Amino acid sequence: MKSQFYLTLIQHDIAWENPERNRQLLDTWFEQITNPTDLVVLPEMFTTGFSMDPKRIAEPMSDTMPTLSWMRRWAERLNACVAGSVSVSENNRFYNRLLWVFPDGHHVYYDKRHTFTFAGEDQVYTRGQNSIVIEWQGWRIKPLICYDLRFPVWSKNRMHEDQAEYDVLLYVANWPGVRRDPWNTLLPARAIENQAYLAAVNRVGTDGNGLEYTGDSVILDPRAQPLAQLKMGDAGLLTAVLEAHPLQDFRAKFPVLSDDDDTI
């Protein structure tokens, strides 16, 4: 496990349902990443905003998909992973899919499990069936999407052969400002109950439905203390350093995960 892991979040305004424009705008943010980083994370549906019109905006999933190709270029250039969710179509279905692209160009993905029924997401996007844990630089990272935050069982960090399933819990979101308080309450809870670092990136600005977003992107340590956070309402970029030894030491001295309901 690499002793230090550099994690970068980009909190940005999203041009409504305009993938090409958003990739261009994000180029400007990526160009500001001048120091080494291991992972760059973008918000939920970072190319379109949280649109419920996938028939018009979803990109057909393929190896030449424009957004996937764009992510590959930046992953190679930065020698870092790039992750974020997009609207995709595959086998006559639509998915809110988090793409995780490695520097060598290969990718894995996670399909959002908890589609947001309040906005009708469940009517147009197929819910995912499986969670994933991605290993990079010896760190194990579990990516989730927005509404998944409200479901602690899906986020749960389980023990396997005396080892925690993951070290970092990651959320990408389009979480409106009207529900800002639950966002800022649930994120620390997830870090504490799972004894893991937590990173959450949200968008700012106003979407095509008139919803306003305040951002509140943050990186927390396993005690839910903020390592870095972005200002409410402002677009921005941040990088924080995650330290392996404090995480391992905390888990060893206070072995909460070993007393989980799955282990007794």
Residues labelled catalytic:
44, 112, 146
Write the DSSP assignment of 173-206 as a string of letters.
E--BGGGHHHHHHHHHHHHHHHTSEEEEEE-EEE
**Cα Rg of the chain, angstroms:** 17
Whole-number Å distance between alpha carbons of 250 and 45? 35
Whether 115 contacts 96, CB under 8 Å: yes
CA distance readout (Å), 229 to 119, 237, 257: 28, 9, 27
- What Å distances lie between residue 153 and 75, 194, 247, CA to CA? 32, 11, 22
The pair of three-digit structure tokens given for residue 96, joined into one six-digit string = 């809110």
